[in-house]
Structure 1
């Protein structure tokens, strides 16, 4: 399969990411860039809530279900907006056409660069992400297709029998599953394309709205925001490679739009593309979308929003003082401080977040180096982005001179501080601050571009404006009639040249690390081409409802996602039932231990798959499955097929093993 064949898959993904939210936004009166940029947030909220409600009601997950739910949301939202229209300005005047056109046209090079990075970085649309977390995400999609249940409330166990269901942020899985169901593609293809659409379409759109709220109705700013949003390695390209953190990627792609909503509420938006009424209505939508995508994104929103929110509260308090209502302003500030610090103390001490806060990563560099990396876009030993970082740093000085934009300096400082704490410090005290991101420098580095993008955009536009003023002041040069838009585009082209295509080569190499096997000397591959060929070969030799025992660390657990055959252990590190634990240690002894057959029958295990260990060969957890080894000529096992070290056995020593009642 080649990438041209994936165009229908990409169109399906774009449709699910944009259309439900775009229609919903128009129904409540949002127009222009705001409607387009908020569409992914609204779509994710609608899709996730639909999945949750359907799971509770036992309704099978399907494309028609989500279409009906989306239409109902649009109709209800439109009716409510119509009823409130006379009381509130529920229809916000659209931006002038040149502003909207500049933003949407400026999205084209962003989409092109994003698509190029995905295509070259992933290699083939069928390539797998050879990472630990990818096993869970691939098999979670297989579970959704098998069970018809996409609810985030039950996703954590991915159908493992005997294990209590639990919450897992499932918005990415819901979105990817709809892409898959709509296009009929395979799980690897749908996964790669859906992720590509999130970073090449969703992320630039969110940045577009954030810059629109900061720069106002600026045609030059709108024209270059999309392409500059692709220039920073830490996000989105870093999270596509590290982890792999697809849910985090979706959550952070929605973050700029969420921050844009906060600016409306704080009164810091220039020529506000929304309104406070709309913004307050959108707050629960932002929370739902972010929470279902990944709670990390909500903590990121809080971190970046603290400065503008308290600036807004401070300005409100000063206005109260001027109006002779000083006591009201003081009370408001005190209440805000109590709420903020009370929430922080609760989050820092509650057992709910204890498992996340307890993750420890050893500091790997000095504070000075971490600070330099954050400023140069070179976090986690990535190449420095000298050109675009220099422009963003200049932007820090330029925005400080504009009263309404100073919050950008504060928010950028917060994101830099959080990264430095994880990369260079990571003590029990700092972990109470950074624990909501697993104390992980990669996740916190991904926050930096959220503010760096508007800084770079504002910097280029201001430099172009200064150049225009200088040119028009010179009579001869003034005849050129150079506009700020033209000069901004020229500066952007120069930046792209200095940055070697806005560092697209670095980004391709970053994505490729875990997709095309360029960095597998230490980690190895989960599934190589020989294994995929063998799995495709044995697909018809395993009944559809059979359960296959295998050591998940040899990559064989991915047979669920690759050939739709259920593995006994669908992830590398998942809570196991007592029966699963027993078979992991004793399956090979089925001829001597009656308990083995009892557990095999209860779980419907009728095949055993032996693979080769190429992934994390140094990890001791590989040895947690001593009962699942090549039986050779032992009685009770019948060799069905083999290819080198890869072997499929049918379990014959336990009689007829019935298929499990449910998949």
Structure 2
């Protein structure tokens, strides 16, 4: 009940987030003749593409970031889609969608409800922030957008203030900024609202849309897929713990949408598709673009799973296409696509090549196949269904590319966590050699595979029940036994799939969001006292003031929580000589500190003591040791304190 009462007030922010990622693109998706679940998936992809395009274009035309430029882009794109519609050839196999919208709406609701419950339990309070290395940047990036009115991915220089152009994917932060502006929510609340919209809305829609062709649109199968999607520890829960990787969460949730449209467009043997093929291609390209704007390695995830699909498509060309020119054209398209994929891998460069997980390739395979990577508790129950689904597709000789895509993802995870050196760099550097980012891709193919097996089990139960109910009236056997079989299997799945692995993953996530008084003794970054002091800053520090503090001990959260500018918004940003001087020596400086503080415009200093954050080696944070225990500095006067956390005012003029 406490959770319910604490989260109900942010319901408007969550609804605003869902509307933002769905409504702007709805007219465009409708104009492309998408209907049913493809319409919803297409609307999400188009909405995110619209927000991304607007964030890039707005600064060039002198517009500040807000909802009006987004709506302007939405109207423009909708009109363009209407014009394009006139030239879209109607596919002879196009059909009206199944009007039984409950076929997909109820499973989406089931998955979304489960994910919401688990996520809310983990975060605990809607005001809580993830106390992780990346969270500091992501929350402050949103504050930067609200502060500057610029959400362009070309201008996100938070980590490099001296640069005028700095490229970073800002789609996530642009959405959070819009939610904060439209709902009046604080940045932490808006971040958690967009987290729920992504995990409990975009992901269920996306993965069910991708899974639909493998399930023949069966209602029971969609329900089973929803259960597997909501009880996978690898996504979304893992990326909400590790990092925290908010842009990657958004990109990974979008990958199934791009794959789903591409899969439908490449399947010539289908008797019916939910839209003209040209529309599917347009929607697929748009979804892929939105994925890339969310995070570029989402495009690599799409390409990784696309490889088996392209190979499968290529094996059918000679059988299904009789005209030589058409056959040559399709072969050229496939080979070009594969060449582009290979070229993408050769172009990857970054310096993050030193990760060593202390694991082995074999252990990585086991971790991936256990469907609970990076946590000790394993999901062997889910593994049984995934492997059974792979066997069934092999025996039935259909959709075998899906099994290959799953195997490819498993191997890539094992490479990332179990190897070091040039081979790993060549294969997984697109994900920064980060095993967690690749682990999050496993459910994309595991969910439909497991659902195939669950559907077969449900059919077996349905066919077997009448043998034990021969004395029942015919109408009971015909009308009640089939749904009873579905309910029985669904209960089994929900009980078995939500195993110890989910408990372990949610426990991990809970610890990272905790700022309870009990966490004062051993917080990850912020204690309850420190958070309380940060929440008072907006009343104690003038709007135009600037604060210095050690970003490793949580002081950097001041920007996102109070809206007051900070000198050091992230741990590993590039700062100038004056900033470096006070970071390393403010504690021992005398009045000469005023010269540095004056040039930097620093009015206040936050002292949260030594950092508790121990994910990185201690030497990483030594550059900021001068901002700890500064009470003896003669130019600083304490103006507020909560426990060991203190706020000092700079008094250089006296």
TM-score if structure 1 supplies the norm length?
0.89
| Residue of structure 2 equivalent to 1:660 | none
Q: 1:142 deviation in Å?
A: 0.7
Instruction: Decide whether aligned partners of structure 1 residues 473 and 272 sit closer, same or farther in structure 2, where only a CA change above 3 A counts.
Output: farther
Unaligned runs of 5+ in 1: 657-663
Q: Equivalent residue for 1:59?
A: 63
**TM-fit CA distance, 1:650:** 2.4
Structure 1 CA distance, aligned partners of 2:292 and 2:440? 17
User: Which residue in 2 is equivalent to 1:79?
Assistant: 83
| Higher mean C-alpha displacement, 271-280 vs 332-341 | 332-341
Residue of structure 1 in register with 2:172 after alignment: 172
Structure 2 CA distance, aligned partners of 1:601 and 1:234? 48
- Tell me if the contact between 1:203 and 1:253 (Cα under 8 Å) persists in the aligned partners: yes
1:37-82 deviations in Å (ceiling 9; x for gaps): 232221111111111111222311112332333233223322332x
Check whether the contact 1:586–1:627 (CA below 8 A) recurs between aligned residues.
yes
Q: Quote the offset at 1:634 in angstroms.
A: 4.1
> What SS is found at the alignment partner of 1:182?
helix
1:209 is the counterpart of 2:209? yes
Aligned partner of 2:485 in structure 1 is: 487
Instruction: Report the aligned-residue RMSD.
Output: 2.9
C-alpha contact (below 8 Å) 2:94/2:273 kept by paired residues: no
2:598 to 597, 601, 608: 601
Corresponding residue of 1:556: 555
Q: Which one of the candidate residues 608, 611, 625 is aligned to 1:611?
A: 608
Report if aligned partners of 1:51, 1:174 keep a CA contact under 8 Å in 2: yes
Corresponding residue pairs, total:
642
How much has 1:294 moved relative to structure 2? 0.8
Greater shift, 307-316 or 221-230, is seen at: 221-230
Give the structure 2 partner of residue 229 of structure 1: 229
Is the Cα–Cα contact under 8 Å of residues 104 and 219 in structure 2 kept in the other structure? Answer: yes
Query: Matched residues in 2 for 1:182 and 1:92: separation?
Result: 39
Note the C-alpha offset of 1:526: 1.8
Structure 2 residue aligned with 1:292 = 293
Task: For residue 191 of structure 1, give the secondary structure of its aligned residue in structure 2.
Answer: helix
SS of equivalent residue, structure 2 residue 398: helix
1:137 maps to what in 2?
138
394, 405, 414: which one aligns with 1:420: 414
Whole-angstrom CA distance in 2 between matches of 1:226 and 1:475: 30
Question: 2:638 corresponds to which residue?
Answer: 639
Q: How far is the alpha carbon of 1:586 from its aligned partner?
A: 4.5
Distance in 2 between the 1:475 and 1:620 partners? 71
Shift of 1:386: 2.4
Equivalent of residue 432 in structure 1, options 426, 445, 452:
426
Q: Distance in 2 between matches of 1:651 and 1:122?
A: 36
What residue number does 1:247 align with? 247
Are the counterparts in 2 of residues 548 and 607 from structure 1 also a CA contact under 8 Å?
Answer: yes
Q: Partners in 1 of 2:92 and 2:589 — Cα distance?
A: 69
Query: 1:473 & 1:203 partners in 2: Cα distance?
Result: 40
Cα distance in 1 between the residues matched to 2:417 and 2:633: 52
Counterpart Cα distance in 2 of 1:643 and 1:379: 39
Q: What is residue 282 of structure 2 aligned with on the other side? A: 281
The answer to whether residue 355 in structure 2 is matched with residue 355 in structure 1 is no
In 2, Cα distance between equivalents of 1:543 and 1:556: 17
* Displacement after TM superposition at 1:243 (Å): 0.7
Deviates more, 1:72-81 or 1:429-438: 72-81
CA contact (8 A) 1:29 1:92 kept: no
Aligned equivalents of 1:268 and 1:503: distance in 2? 40
Query: Counterparts of 2:28 and 2:543 in 1: how far apart (Å)?
Result: 40
CA contact (8 A) 1:587 1:628 kept: yes
What per-residue deviation string (whole Å, max 9, x for no partner) do you get for residues 191-220 of structure 1? 112101211111010011111122233232
Q: Quick one: distance in 2 between partners of 1:234 and 1:521?
A: 29
Tell me, yes or no, if the aligned pair for 1:209 and 1:257 is still in contact at 8 Å: yes
Selected match of 1:94 from 93, 96, 99: 96
Q: Which residue of 2 aligns with 1:661?
A: none
Q: For residues 159 and 624 of structure 1, do their structure 2 counterparts lie closer, same or farther at Cα, with a shift above 3 Å needed? A: closer
CA distance 1:629–1:377, shift in 2 (3 Å):
closer
- 1:378 equivalent to 2:377? Answer no
In 1, the alpha carbon distance for the partners of 2:114 and 2:129 equals 21
Residues 209 and 598 (structure 1), Cα distance of their counterparts in 2 relative to 1, 3 Å cut? same
For residues 146 and 523 of structure 2, the distance between their equivalents in structure 1, rounded to whole angstroms, comes to 29
Matching residue within 11, 19, 23 for 2:23:
19
- Alpha-carbon distance in 2 for matches of 1:564, 1:55: 22
For structure 2, which runs of at least 5 residues remain unmatched after alignment? none
Does structure 2 retain, via aligned residues, the 8 Å contact 1:585–1:627?
A: yes
CA contact (8 A) 2:225 2:451 kept: yes
In structure 2, C-alpha distance between the alignment counterparts of 1:588 and 1:371, rounded to whole Å = 50
Aligned counterparts of 1:483 and 1:427: Cα–Cα separation in 2: 57
Instruction: Give 2:511's aligned residue.
Output: 513
Structure 1 residue 117 displacement after superposition: 0.4
Residue equivalent to 1:570: 569
Shift in CA distance, 289/477, structure 1 to aligned 2, threshold 3 Å: farther
State whether residues 375 and 501 of structure 2, in contact with CA within 8 Å, keep that contact through their aligned partners in structure 1. no
Offset of residue 7 of structure 1 = 1.1
Name the CA shift for 1:324/1:55 in 2 (closer, same or farther; >3 Å).
closer
Q: Distance in 2 between matches of 1:637 and 1:197?
A: 44
Determine the structure 2 residue equivalent to 1:497.
495
Structure 1 residue 127: deviation in Å? 1.2
Helix, strand or coil: the match of 2:641?
strand
How far apart are residue 645 of structure 1 and its match? Answer: 3.3
Task: Tell me, in whole angstroms, the C-alpha distance in 2 between the residues paired with 1:273 and 1:506.
Answer: 40
Per the alignment, residue 531 of structure 2 pairs with 532
Please state whether the residue corresponding to 1:364 is helix, strand or coil. coil
- When residues 251 and 150 of structure 1 are mapped into structure 2, their CA distance, relative to the original with a 3 A threshold, is same
Q: 2:231 is paired with a residue of what secondary structure?
A: coil
Report the equivalent of 1:628. Answer: 627
C-alpha separation in 1, matches of 2:317 and 2:484: 39
Preserved CA contact (<8 Å) 1:460 1:488 = no
The change in CA–CA distance for 1:92 and 1:514 in structure 2 (over 3 A counts) is farther
**Partner residue, 1:125:** 126
Cα distance between partner residues in 1 of 2:178 and 2:577? 34
* Alignment pair present for 1:460 and 2:451: no
- Give the stretch that moved more between structures: 207-216 or 61-70: 61-70
